Structure 1
């Protein structure tokens, strides 16, 4: 016979309700003035700009080597 461990009430939602922890975390961060979507968008823009600069430099070096 298998023994099943009961989960604590904090680990399982009660009354069949689904708890969306990600949404709750985002909601709390937004209340603190931290907008994850804006932060990630800013980070993405920075990375894309860095990629463009590195690609330009690499393309210039490649063109110089071809001559």
Structure 2
């Protein structure tokens, strides 16, 4: 059984698991997981599927998808 954490994708590439919160931020979307510091992903929310615990982001206009380290 899954808890309430989400998996976040940038396009169709998984970029984070066990995401506990996210919020809009300057330059993208800030997200946090249980075991990592919060980070800003350069993108915007495309859609959220609450039943599948899935958040899909799309790159900001003019940006190529980049996975933050």
**Greater relative contact order (CA < 8 Å, ≥ 6 in sequence):** 2
Larger Rg over CA atoms = 1
TM-score normalised by structure 1 residue count = 0.23
Structure having the higher helix fraction is 1
